[in-house]
Amino acid sequence: MTDVTQVNEKISIERQGDIALIIIDNPPVNATGQVVRQGLQDAITRLNEEGTAKVIAIYAEGRTFVAGADITEFGKPPQPPALPDVYNIIEASQIPVISVMHGTALGGGFELGMATHARIGIKGLRVGLPEILLGLLPGAGGTQRLPRIAGIPFTLDMALSGRQVKAEEALEKGVIDRLVDTTPREAALQAAQDVLDGKLATRRTSELQVERDDKALEDTAAKLKAKQAHLFSSHKVVEAVAASSLPLTEGLKIERQAFLDSMQTPQRAGLIHAFFGERAVSGIPEAKGDSREINKIGVIGGGTMGSGIATSCLLAGIPVRLVEVAQEGLDRGVATITKNLEGAVKRGKMTAEQKDAALKMLEPSLGLEVLSDVDLVIEAVFEQMDVKKDIFGKLNTICKEGAILASNTSYLDVNEIADSTDRPQDVLGLHFFSPAHVMRLLEIVQGAKTAPDVLATGFALAKRLKKVGVLAQVCDGFIGNRILAHYSKPASYLVLDGASPQQVDDALEGFGFAMGPHKVGDLAGLDIGWMTRKRKAATRDPNERYAGDVADKICENGWFGRKAGQGYYIYGDAAPEPNPEVAKIIDAVRAEKGITPRTFTDAEIVDRYMTAMIVEATRVVEDGTAKRPVDVDMVFLFGYGFPRFRGGPLHYADTIGAKELVARITEYAKEDANYWQVPPLLQKMADEGTTFADLNKGA
């Protein structure tokens, strides 16, 4: 007869003769919230006091073993018992304790396993220390126990990369003692019996010796200093792992302090905002309704975007019909897709066999007629309204009823495109970011007449493609490109007024962007911005200070950036160098406009650039183009290389505060009152003392 005691609502004990099972049941991911911590502590204490069980096995119900500490508790006053204390109690248990891990044993979950006296992995298990991705470090013994189990270099690798280690590798490294292919419950009973029968050895991790490796620690510290100087918790990881050669209690103290210090940083808050934001963007009613089935996708256009989109679909196992007007374009598209997939093989994302299978799912075709049976068409031809309208008009007659017709336009009016069909309810924008098979952002643009199930299909597709789908309303540039068009101007104004392109880039790279705006321009091709400026010339506000003087002159020389060998920088075999010809152009433009150059500090550059970004981001929220501030933040993290540890432009804005932002804009407006205007929403927030975080909560 089974004897089950409910320790609390999340933890139960089941006794079977000499075996006691401790079962964790805290959906969705068995995080170690306060109730779980308390329950584990009480269960171990109770079983030790009773002294009847001869072995204890811990396993979890549901899709995964413990996936870590409960992130929602971070930043709030800590509730006892603390996780490290609970794990110390588990490790000190007089009755041997084993753990059975399945799914993803991450952070505090993996640390729970390490505190037990033997570990069993269920096939498919992944273990990881992802705290670094949240601006933290393992805070429940991971930096002390893993070195004892698997050595210092492996601990540094896991704790600094946050990567999930597959069960096979975990077994090889001695992180788990066994890998079995059964249910967690069966495995727990079997392993417990094996302990009783002397077939599975148990030991306390604290009693294992750490093999010192000062060189690995020093090399890693030096590498971090050079490459990740600004990331607080990375350095703390090294500090804590270095302490693992001390007695465990001392090492744990150092780890705890490092963990608490990391918890106080804005980086931790930014990264946790990113974690929840990534999930929040699809947590809206528009994403959750019924969706249409997508079994085959047509992609129109074999250029960089079309090929990237097709690659992304193939990587997700969705058959693609790629359509071009001429054989040459089609061949180029197929070649690009093949190259993209080969790149995925090289990066270890897929095997050569999987690549071949993906290519078999690609049907290159000439003529739109072949799209008659696809479930979704994504048009990715060049940005010209009449061309798009012509294509959608044709799709209207060719495509089957219920097929979804999407445009990858990055700024054109999706409603106008939709109205070139007599099924505008089936039309939406699916705006991918280049390279489309790599960048995770997908703006899902809702037309005025887009049907709810079409919109929901956009979100379902984003999920299948492993992208982050963000809802956007129709406007010039949607969320991302509209904000970009605004904040790219102060980068140019700063150069006109005295900074060099390199100083602007360096300052923003110092802020955390992977590349400054001039380097990004060079990479994307300066001709793109040039074309946009020409397109918008006729409608440009006559009072606006023109930002394109320097860039136009660079383009007139054909120096379109990286692809031309030069732009703001000169590209060759060596690292890019600032282009001296550009410096001459800048001097000439300043002279022509009568500008006396002045100096800017890096901080001033960052402030102006970021304030401009925040201003337009606020307007995008204000007019409903983005549903909430968090949607804007995720667009920037996943589509524009915004530093993840800063959480996104509007999360960052909260760290400055609306009052200070209004004061800054008012100050800048003394130089250029046309460009620098306080958005009414920001003024209201400053007056009322509210934040973008309040708006996210629906306040």
Contacts with ligand CAA by CB under 6 A lie at: 28-29, 31, 64, 67-72, 83, 104, 106-108, 111, 130-131, 134, 136, 138-140, 142, 279, 283
Q: Which is nearer to ligand CAA, 139 or 424 (CB)?
A: 139
Q: Which is nearer to ligand CAA, 260 or 352 (CB)?
A: 260
* Least gap, CB of 223 to ligand CAA (angstroms): 23
Output the six-digit token pair for 421: 């069909």
Q: Which is nearer to ligand CAA, 324 or 631 (CB)?
A: 631
* Least gap, CB of 99 to ligand CAA (angstroms): 15
* Least gap, CB of 131 to ligand CAA (angstroms): 5
Alpha-carbon gap, residue 63 to 59, rounded angstroms: 12
Q: Are the CB atoms for 137 and 68 separated by under 8 Å?
A: no
Q: Which is nearer to ligand CAA, 29 or 614 (CB)?
A: 29
* Least gap, CB of 506 to ligand CAA (angstroms): 32
Nearest Cα residue to 127 out of 102, 93, 164: 164
Alpha-carbon gap, residue 192 to 273, rounded angstroms: 41
Sheet holding 118-122, edge to edge: 3-6, 11-16, 19-24, 55-60, 97-101, 118-122, 178-180
* Least gap, CB of 236 to ligand CAA (angstroms): 12
* Least gap, CB of 162 to ligand CAA (angstroms): 8
Q: Which is nearer to ligand CAA, 71 or 200 (CB)?
A: 71
Gyration radius of the chain's alpha carbons: 28
SS3 97: strand
* Least gap, CB of 64 to ligand CAA (angstroms): 6
Q: Are the CB atoms for 139 and 68 separated by under 8 Å?
A: no
> What is the chain's percent helix, strand, coil content, to nearest 5?
55, 15, 35
* Least gap, CB of 71 to ligand CAA (angstroms): 4
SS3 459: helix
* Least gap, CB of 259 to ligand CAA (angstroms): 7
Residue 538 CB burial class (10 angstroms; 0-12, 13-18, ≥19): exposed
Q: Are the CB atoms for 456 and 287 separated by under 8 Å?
A: yes
* Least gap, CB of 141 to ligand CAA (angstroms): 8
Q: Which is nearer to ligand CAA, 119 or 486 (CB)?
A: 119
Q: Which is nearer to ligand CAA, 282 or 618 (CB)?
A: 282
Residue 307 CB burial class (10 angstroms; 0-12, 13-18, ≥19): buried
Output the six-digit token pair for 67: 């996936």
* Least gap, CB of 269 to ligand CAA (angstroms): 14
Does residue 80 have a cis bond before it (omega within 30 degrees)? no
Q: Which is nearer to ligand CAA, 29 or 555 (CB)?
A: 29
| Crossing angle between the packed helical segments 232-242 and 142-150, to the nearest 10 degrees | 60
* Least gap, CB of 83 to ligand CAA (angstroms): 5
Q: Which is nearer to ligand CAA, 64 or 618 (CB)?
A: 64
Q: Which amino acid is at 137?
A: L
Taking CA 630 as the corner, what is the angle to CA 624 and CA 636, rounded to the nearest 5 degrees?
Answer: 95
Q: Which is nearer to ligand CAA, 28 or 198 (CB)?
A: 28
- Other CB atoms within a 10 A radius of the CB of residue 283 amount to 10
Q: Which is nearer to ligand CAA, 130 or 301 (CB)?
A: 130
- Other CB atoms within a 10 A radius of the CB of residue 181 amount to 9
* CA distances (Å), origin 616, targets 162, 409, 515, 678: 34, 21, 21, 10
Q: Which is nearer to ligand CAA, 241 or 310 (CB)?
A: 241
* Least gap, CB of 206 to ligand CAA (angstroms): 17
HSE of 52, CA atoms in CB hemisphere, 13 A: 9
Alpha-carbon torsion, ordered 385, 390, 396, 399, to 10 deg: -100
Q: Helical H runs in 557-648?
A: 580-593, 602-622, 629-639
Q: Which is nearer to ligand CAA, 106 or 391 (CB)?
A: 106
